[in-house]
Amino acid sequence: MLFRSPSHGVMDLDQVFSDIVTFIREDPQAQHKLIIGTDSQARDEVTYVTAIIIHRLGKGARYYYYRQAQRRVATLRQRILLETSFSLGVASKLTEMLSRRGYQGFNIEIHLDIGQNGDTRDLIREIVGMVSGSGFDAKIKPDSFGASSVADKYTK
């Protein structure tokens, strides 16, 4: 799994993790949020982009994204479930890496490309429950910029 960083180029997950830790250590007194979101765009196939954002509240952020394409899925529900599972997979790996480095309890938010308006409103309970049941905080539109802005930018 190779991520891209606008400032560092192509990086594997270990390199992304090291860069996140470096970013946190640059200002350890600041409050940091680790955000993961996935968005997709359907054409002949579906392009999924998973973004990892480390946000130093009030002082900037860094992000990394992973892009993959898969065959079209039959329903919007299936696509949203796949987006969520991609985000949860990355979040689980990062949680394990953070724990091994002494960052237990680091709050990770999963940003979901669903909201009260549009076709995804009927999926909110199910998808938020899936994320919460996995031990992560779930954010939906309009508070889910990790999926609806950062990841969305690279699905095109």
Provide the phi-psi class of 117: left if phi over 0, else alpha when psi is between -120 and 50, else beta: beta
Q: What percent of the chain has pLDDT above 70?
A: 100
CB 146 within 8 A of CB 53: yes
Per-residue confidence band for 39, with pLDDT thresholds at 50, 70 and 90: very high
Helix intervals (H) in the chain: 13-26, 76-100, 124-133, 145, 152-153
Q: Which domain holds residue 119?
A: 2-153
Q: What is the pLDDT of residue 92?
A: 97
What pTM does this model have?
0.95
What are the residues facing 49 on neighbouring strands? 39, 67
User: Total domain count for the chain?
Assistant: 1
CB 37 within 8 A of CB 110: yes
Per-residue confidence band for 73, with pLDDT thresholds at 50, 70 and 90: confident
Per-residue confidence band for 51, with pLDDT thresholds at 50, 70 and 90: very high
